[in-house]
């Protein structure tokens, strides 16, 4: 039984690789634009994912990017927490976790 459990965990170990270079391996270096400006990060005690918020402007649209250390990513177009957003316009939220989108529609 223990062997079966260990065999089942091996693919999981490889799927959870945290290599940044692997994430960009299919994108040519000339096509990459890396934003290294500051972000607001809340560091939680061990056992809880840290949370980061960053505001960027993409094609003239203010976007707030919310992320955690456990790989949750939420993009908010016209994020009211960002300077330059418009309170008169709605925020549009895109959750970057496909499983969450599936779960939201299967409820």
pLDDT tens column, 32-41: 888 888 899 9
Distance (Å, rounded) from C-alpha 83 to C-alpha 85? 6
Band of residue 70 on the pLDDT scale cut at 50, 70, 90: confident
70: domain range? 40-107
Query: Is 48 inside a domain boundary?
Result: yes
Beta bridge partners of 94: 75
Distance (Å, rounded) from C-alpha 47 to C-alpha 22? 26
Query: Is 14 inside a domain boundary?
Result: no
Query: Is 25 inside a domain boundary?
Result: no
pLDDT (0 to 100) of residue 1: 46
Whether 59 and 33 have beta carbons less than 8 Å apart is answered as no
Number of domains in the chain: 1
Query: Is 30 inside a domain boundary?
Result: no
Model pTM?
Answer: 0.59
């Amino acid at each position: 039984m223990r062997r079966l459990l260990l065999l089942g965990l091996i693919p999981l170990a490889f799927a959870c690789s945290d290599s940044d270079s692997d994430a960009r391996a299919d994108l040519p270096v000339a096509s990459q634009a890396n934003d290294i400006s500051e972000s607001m990060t809340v560091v939680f005690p061990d056992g809880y994912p840290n949370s980061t918020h960053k505001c960027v402007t993409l094609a003239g649209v203010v976007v707030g990017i919310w992320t955690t250390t456990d790989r949750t990513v939420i993009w908010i177009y016209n994020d009211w927490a960002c300077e330059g957003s418009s309170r008169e316009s709605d925020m549009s939220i895109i959750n970057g976790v496909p499983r969450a989108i599936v779960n939201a529609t299967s409820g």
